[in-house]
Amino acid sequence: MKRDRVTEQKKLGLWGRLKRLALTDVGAMVRGFSAADLETVERMLLEADFGVASTMDLMAMLEDGVRRGRWKTEADLRTALADRLAELLAPVGASAELAQAAPGPTVVLVMGVNGVGKTTSVAKLAHRLKGQGRRVLVAAADTWRAGAIAQLEVWAERIGVPCVSGASGGDPAAVAFDALEAALARGSDTVLIDTAGRLHTQEGLMDELRKVARVVGRRVPGAPHEVLLVLDGTVGQNAVQQGKLFAEAVPLTGLIVTKLDGTARGGAVVALRRELGVPIRFTGRGEGVEDLVPFDAREFAGHLLADEG
């Protein structure tokens, strides 16, 4: 019995859980949440990875609204929460679409710890940009993990874009450099560089990424034009720590937050936006090439407040 309830709770999205709380006590919506209800809401937000600062922000809004009797119906409350979430998620300037350098090629460096979805995101981006008419080339600069080169080559073939790779165990900066030469020779306008993902505590990886950025910058002025950090949206506060470390190595222009197919842990996106101060450009919502959603604060607030997780 207890187990069923836990499973059910997990399946419910944030809104589903909030609604359940409001309806456990029929009067809650009418007379407002009690102090105990508010505490439960606070716990829900923290469990959903919103982070302390964003949770405090949302709680202040909720407490104020309750005190003033601002919400008469469930729909009122949902709208108020969605509005505030959208404000918290609002992008800092940049749109989701990637920069286009002139004369080019536009160089996009993709980085992140192991297994977060870098290679898949490079494939999804390549597919998306190709669909927009851009001439994309991908660079397999993860020379570290066995199988990484073949993985990107398979994606590239499926999507129909050229892939430049080097020897396994070779220098990732050399692969990136070769990819730029190839792009210049064949007139590609966008180069997406996939990189290795060892643990972020290993200084070696950070040095490697710095070198890739330096080398591409010497070949193409202004490169890398985009530095996208891929974070797994299900790891909560760990993603914030990872983000800070990578940002110190190479300044970021945006985030791709992956594995948000369900809504249950999506709150981390709110914390990431706040703590890292760079825009979320895309979210990953599945394993297929189409499962990359350009970030829209309103759409994502709705996604977070879905009834089911």
**201 closest CA partner among 236, 229, 241:** 241
**260 closest CA partner among 215, 223, 230, 224:** 230
Residue selected from 286, 293, 302, 306 as contacting ligand GTP according to rule CB under 6 A:
286
Q: Which residues of 229-262 are buried (b: 16+ CB within 10 A; e: fewer)?
A: bbbbbbbbeebbebbeebbebbebbbbbbbbbeb
**Locate tokens 């790891």: which residue?**
235
| Residue 285 binds which of Mg ion, ligand GTP, none (CB < 5-8 A, kind-dependent) | ligand GTP
Cβ nearer to Mg ion, comparing 133 with 147 = 147
User: Which residues between 97 and 126 bind Mg ion (CB under 5 A)?
Assistant: 118-119
**Stated length of the chain:** 309
**Stretch binding ligand GTP (CB under 6 A), from 71-79, 140-148, 183-191, 200-208:** 140-148
Cβ nearer to ligand GTP, comparing 177 with 282 = 282
- In DSSP terms, 231 is beta-bridged to 257
Binding of ligand GTP by 117 (CB under 6 A): yes
Task: In angstroms, give the least distance from the CB of 211 to Mg ion.
Answer: 18
**What x/- string results for residues 18 through 37 when contact with ligand GTP is judged by CB under 6 A?**
--------------------
| Residue 261 binds which of Mg ion, ligand GTP, none (CB < 5-8 A, kind-dependent) | ligand GTP
Residue selected from 11, 70, 130, 145 as contacting ligand GTP according to rule CB under 6 A:
145
**30 closest CA partner among 85, 80, 76:** 76
Binding of ligand GTP by 258 (CB under 6 A): yes
Residue selected from 197, 224, 254, 267 as contacting ligand GTP according to rule CB under 6 A:
197
| Residue 116 binds which of ligand GTP, Mg ion, none (CB < 5-8 A, kind-dependent) | ligand GTP
Task: Kindly state the tokens that stand for 303.
Answer: 């996604």
- In DSSP terms, 258 is beta-bridged to 232
Residue selected from 259, 265, 273, 303 as contacting ligand GTP according to rule CB under 6 A:
259
Binding of ligand GTP by 115 (CB under 6 A): yes
Binding of ligand GTP by 119 (CB under 6 A): yes
Task: In angstroms, give the least distance from the CB of 296 to ligand GTP.
Answer: 17
**HSE toward the beta carbon, residue 34, CA cutoff 13 A:** 9
Contact 279, 94 (CB under 8 A): yes
Number of residues that bind ligand GTP (CB under 6 A): 20
Residue selected from 25, 178, 261, 299 as contacting ligand GTP according to rule CB under 6 A:
261
Q: Does 221 sit behind a cis peptide bond, omega within 30 degrees of 0 on the bond before it?
A: no
Binding of ligand GTP by 284 (CB under 6 A): yes
Task: In angstroms, give the least distance from the CB of 126 to ligand GTP.
Answer: 12
Contact 239, 233 (CB under 8 A): yes
Distance (Å) of CA 40 to CA 21, 57, 74, 198, 212: 8, 15, 17, 38, 47
| Residue 259 binds which of Mg ion, ligand GTP, none (CB < 5-8 A, kind-dependent) | ligand GTP
Burial of 136 from C-beta contacts in 10 A (0-12 / 13-18 / 19+): buried
Helix axes 14-24, 74-89, angle to 10 degrees: 150
Helix axes 52-67, 35-47, angle to 10 degrees: 150
Residues contributing to the site for ligand GTP (CB under 6 A): 112, 114-120, 142, 145, 148, 197, 258-259, 261, 284-287, 291
